[in-house]
Amino acid sequence: MSLPDLSQRLAALGANEAHRDRVLRHWVQALPLDQGRRKLEHFLPQALRQALPALMDELAGLARLLQRHPGEDGSARLLVGLGDGMTVESVLLPRDGLCVSSQVGCAVGCAFCMTGRDGLIRQLSSAEIVAQVALARRERAVKKVVFMGMGEPSHNLDAVMEAITLLGTAGNIGHKNLVLSTVGDPRVFERLTGAGAGPVRPALALSLHTTKAELRARLLPRAPRLSPREIVEAGERYARDTGYPIQYQWTLMEGVNDGEDELDGIVALLKGRYGVLNMIPYNSVPELPFRRPSWERAREIARQLHQRGVLTKLRDSAGQDVDGGCGQLRARALADGVQPVQWRERRVAG
């Protein structure tokens, strides 16, 4: 089910725009149907009222909780079951954030990521993306959504932008708190800056990981062949246009992209830019050869960059203590089998 499909179904039940917005708001904000100043029986057409309980059950079935792994940092990694039996991962982040997936698998094939090992399996529909937010909001408030989970959002751009538009309207999430992450696909910049740009323009996170074009081609083998400088220049134009600083993502890997030459390259590339460098020590995966540097080394790198004029934030990947790097939960579930967990729903408005 896509969000346009859902709108068409609501229209066939007699819903006008106000009726549709009320139903979508209840769904995406995880609100009880009896909540609101105007009772639904005084507002919605009879056919829609009669169909609504079954429709809400159907929407809830788009994303079901299969496993929940809480971390000591206040995060929780969720294994989410889709209607066809496929699984993706979402992450409840500290400070009311949520990381969602946009694909089952990924076609980019980043050398350090578990998600892309099996390639792209299928796209998520826009309703399945939003359903991850509705699922998370049954547990706790969600005030920020980042598209940094499984998949490359630019490869499913129509569905991602449909989801972002709903989350930024009926979902009651501030536009700058919707963060679209990409490896630097030109289609993202074209979509967000051209005449077709929608009413909600998200903030951008650009996966950089290195300042060296040749190394980036090895680490991200099927990413668009834009050089790191071209990616940064495109990001700078978007940042100046929207007023949202770009988040440059750097997965820090020992012996790969943590050398002094990379620090010099970062300063040359990012000093004076309207953005912030998010440096995230690698979440080690036993099946892959990359390793996480010591926290002391990571902290020293961030300190040096900050002193040299690059705003740098050293971030820990949420849920390190539960081995929750993207794709790991799904891989373990495929190997071991999964069973739905029982959990107590709490209705929380976002």
Q: Known catalytic residues?
A: 89, 326
HEC profile for 7-45?
Answer: HHHHHHCCCCHHHHHHHHHHHHCCCCCCCCCCCHHHCCC
Based on its alpha-carbon atoms, the radius of gyration of the chain, rounded to whole angstroms, reads 21
CB 309 within 8 A of CB 267: yes
CB 108 within 8 A of CB 156: no
Residue in the block written with tokens 């040749």 = 214
> With the C-alpha atoms ordered 17, 14, 350, 125, is the resulting torsion angle positive or negative?
negative
How far is the first Cα of the chain from the last one, in angstroms, to the nearest whole number? 23
DSSP string covering 264-294, please? HHHHHHHTT-SEEEEEEE----TTSS--PPP
Which residues fall within 8 angstroms of residue 316, CB to CB, at 6 or more apart? 73, 280, 281
**Token pair in block for residue 158:** 């129509």
Long-range contacts of 313-317 (CB under 8 A, 24+ apart): 313/276, 313/277, 313/278, 313/279, 314/279, 314/281, 315/278, 315/279, 315/280, 316/73, 316/280, 316/281, 317/280, 317/281, 317/282, 317/283
Question: Which helix (H) or strand (E) segment is 236 a member of?
Answer: helix 228-242
Q: What gap in Å lies between CA 260 and CA 265, rounded to an integer?
A: 9
Q: What gap in Å lies between CA 126 and CA 158, rounded to an integer?
A: 8
CB 322 within 8 A of CB 70: yes
DSSP string covering 311-330, please? -EEE-PPTTGGGT--TTHHH
